Structure 1
Amino acid sequence: MTLNQLRAFALVARLGSLRAAAAVLGISEPAVSSSLAALRLDLGDALVRRSGSGIALTAGGRALADHAQEIVGLADQVRWEVSHAAESAACLRVVATAGFAEHAAGRLLDAFTRRVPVHSGGIDVVVESADDIGSLLQDHAYDVALGSRPPQGTQLEVVPFLRYQRVLVAAPGHPLGQRKQSLPLAALLGEPWFTGPAGVEEFTAESSWLAAAFLASALGVPEIVPLSSETDALAAVRAGEGIMLAFMHIVRAEVTAGSLVVLPVPNTPIAGLWCASTLDHGRASTPARTLQRFVTTAEATAAMLAPGGSRGVARRGSKVHVALWS
């Protein structure tokens, strides 16, 4: 009994025709008949018989059909894994910008590793600024970048995958939180603006909005107070200690419940975009391109926006190794 014989029989059993099986395999019909004859001899059963509608399986043929496709499929999987062993065993190196790393990276990579379990080497996630992404990818320090769009001019393939909104929030008991009418920008300057450890990241919609709103109008610069994570920043806002540009999908439940208030500030919400970046012109690794394709799927979007579950890393330069599903 050989793999080729089982492959031929599995197709005959599924298609009900020697001719159809031969066409799929790209061999002659006599070659398919020869494979079946060898199996009959080996197993001591006719396996198939002629019927009015073509070919029917004997009881022994039905028993073999239950296992033949499974055996063929397993052999194909083994062949693929052996041929891609070096690539699959290598760790996939991901660099992420801070906001994405903290709020979405863990859930996304959990979903990715469940869907694509062949990357047995695992995934390392490191947080860096968007300004550094292009050079880090060019230097082959990382395979793929997730989060803020890297600066223009770098030789990267950039795929947008998720739109987000930032809103300015405060505690309902905060003086600004009690204002119902549009707040003038000058009223915001006297308050600390809490952020994650990266501050307001460069090359984001948030940094562009701040520059246009405050620097261009010569109002001055808000007091930016970086904390160890955006989660800690939100805790400080809930305590009434200041305000924060928060992701709307993260604070939506608290806004609905009334434990946070969205401030009525001109030109907000701020619309931003997360992107997946790799080296262009086919220079990216297969795992990197696979992840880049996966992030655009509905499954990935649902994972990133889902409440709860593991998230990621928040501190620049820290590294998290994501254990993969077996």
Structure 2
Amino acid sequence: MTPTQLRAFAATVRLGSVKAAAADLEVTEAAVSMHIAHLRKELGDRLFTRVASGLVFTPGGLRLASRAIEMLGLQDLTVREVSQAGSGRRLLRLAASSLFAEHAAPGLIDLFAGRADDLSVELSVHNAQRFAHLLVTRAVDAAIGPRPATLDESLSCTPFLNYQVIAVVGGAHPLAGRQASAAELQEQTWLLGPSAASRTGLVPSVLRRLGIPERNQRIYQSHAAAVEDAKRGGGLALAVSFSVGKDLAAGDLRQVAGPHLPARGSWHLLALAGQEAASTASELRRFVATPRATQAMLRGSGVTAGRFRPAVHVTLWT
């Protein structure tokens, strides 16, 4: 078995067809079929058969599917560890939801990476629904975003920061500073960041609970761009509260209250459980809940330890 053959089979299993696997791997369908044929011959198992509804996998094919993902992940990990050993540097590959990546990741990464001269952090933005797959296949070492609806036992989940999403408008907007009804909110133009395009997370949840029609949603390349348009009177934006504190204090933005607003959420760090976790992911898991890390995420990393005085918040949970 070669890595190329295993990669072709794993893509076929994941996507449900040879055609989709070929497109994903950017090769021809004939190449994918050839790799699978070699596996069938070597293992003495058909692995799967085609039926009208798709592919039906044999017990051996299902076993190979799980092993292929594990073997490819270990191969990538080995290559990376050898490269790091040769260069004398360590690498943390971090996946994040768009909301965390824009508002809290810069301060966290700057402070975390600055603690060690041999550490580099590579950040990529993904839909939170892909976190489990990215971790299991070892495409990333850790992921930060909303807690998954279902959590596989192979993954650990560490909550570390609560946050609040509020609705804001420009100072001259008719809804500025007042309580709005559900009907009024549904009629507004909503200026949204890329997190609104996901199916998971706090922002999509708020939009669903409010029943905001898609025709009234405008999605921008960044959450900051959506908020800037709201300042100019373009409509109503959803923003992380700590990111717009100065604009609210200056009167450039006004908060709008209403059903399901404000909304509260929390960010979680996901990694492989136990000894399977990368050492850099374990370091980040211990660091991310410290007061210094919290300060860096909320305000950036440019505050010295001597001037850091964390506020005390008491939350009652039922």
Pairing partner for 2:270 from 252, 277, 280: 277
Could you tell me which residue of structure 1 aligns to residue 89 of structure 2? 89
Could you tell me which residue of structure 2 aligns to residue 233 of structure 1? 226
Work out the CA distance in 1 between the residues paired with 2:155 and 2:301: 32
Could you tell me which residue of structure 1 aligns to residue 113 of structure 2? 113
Would you say the 8 A contact 2:188–2:235 is kept in 1? yes
TM-score by length of structure 1 reads 0.62
Would you say the 8 A contact 1:143–1:285 is kept in 2? yes
Pairing partner for 1:205 from 190, 202, 220: 202
Pairing partner for 1:191 from 188, 201, 211: 188
Count the aligned residue pairs.
Answer: 218
Residue type matched to 2:223 in 1?
E
Work out the CA distance in 2 between the residues paired with 1:280 and 1:190: 45
Report the CA distance between 1:252 and its aligned residue: 1.3
Higher-Rg structure is: 1
Q: CA RMSD in A?
A: 2.2
Could you tell me which residue of structure 2 aligns to residue 250 of structure 1? 243
Report the CA distance between 1:151 and its aligned residue: 3.7
Report the CA distance between 1:156 and its aligned residue: 1.3
Report the CA distance between 1:90 and its aligned residue: 3.8
Could you tell me which residue of structure 2 aligns to residue 137 of structure 1? 135
Work out the CA distance in 2 between the residues paired with 1:254 and 1:294: 30
Report the CA distance between 1:117 and its aligned residue: 3.4
Structure 1 residues 209-256: Cα deviation after superposition (integer angstroms, max 9, x where no partner)? 332332xxxx75572211111111111101100111101001112112
TM-score by length of structure 2 reads 0.64
- Give the % identical residues: 32
Q: Secondary structure at the match of 2:276?
A: coil
Q: Secondary structure at the match of 1:303?
A: helix
Could you tell me which residue of structure 1 aligns to residue 162 of structure 2? 163
Residue type matched to 1:204 in 2?
G
Work out the CA distance in 1 between the residues paired with 2:224 and 2:270: 26
Would you say the 8 A contact 2:195–2:204 is kept in 1? no
Work out the CA distance in 1 between the residues paired with 2:138 and 2:256: 43
Report the CA distance between 1:85 and its aligned residue: 4.2
Residue type matched to 2:132 in 1?
G
Q: Secondary structure at the match of 1:282?
A: helix
Work out the CA distance in 2 between the residues paired with 1:279 and 1:133: 11
Report the CA distance between 1:257 and its aligned residue: 1.6
Work out the CA distance in 2 between the residues paired with 1:138 and 1:307: 31
Work out the CA distance in 2 between the residues paired with 1:225 and 1:275: 27
Work out the CA distance in 2 between the residues paired with 1:135 and 1:151: 14
Could you tell me which residue of structure 2 aligns to residue 172 of structure 1? 171
Would you say the 8 A contact 1:193–1:222 is kept in 2? no
Long gaps (5+) in structure 1: 1-83, 310-326
Q: Secondary structure at the match of 1:235?
A: helix
Long gaps (5+) in structure 2: 1-83, 303-318
Q: 1:88 and 1:212, CA in 2 relative to 1: closer, same or farther beyond 3 A?
A: farther
Structure 1 residue 266 corresponds to structure 2 residue 266: no
Would you say the 8 A contact 1:171–1:238 is kept in 2? yes
Work out the CA distance in 2 between the residues paired with 1:87 and 1:249: 39
Q: 1:246 and 1:257, CA in 2 relative to 1: closer, same or farther beyond 3 A?
A: same
Q: 1:220 and 1:101, CA in 2 relative to 1: closer, same or farther beyond 3 A?
A: closer
Residue type matched to 1:258 in 2?
G
Structure 1 residues 99-121: Cα deviation after superposition (integer angstroms, max 9, x where no partner)? 110111111011001223342xx
Q: Secondary structure at the match of 1:189?
A: helix
Work out the CA distance in 1 between the residues paired with 2:101 and 2:213: 30
Q: 1:191 and 1:306, CA in 2 relative to 1: closer, same or farther beyond 3 A?
A: same
Could you tell me which residue of structure 2 aligns to residue 286 of structure 1? 279
Report the CA distance between 1:208 and its aligned residue: 2.6
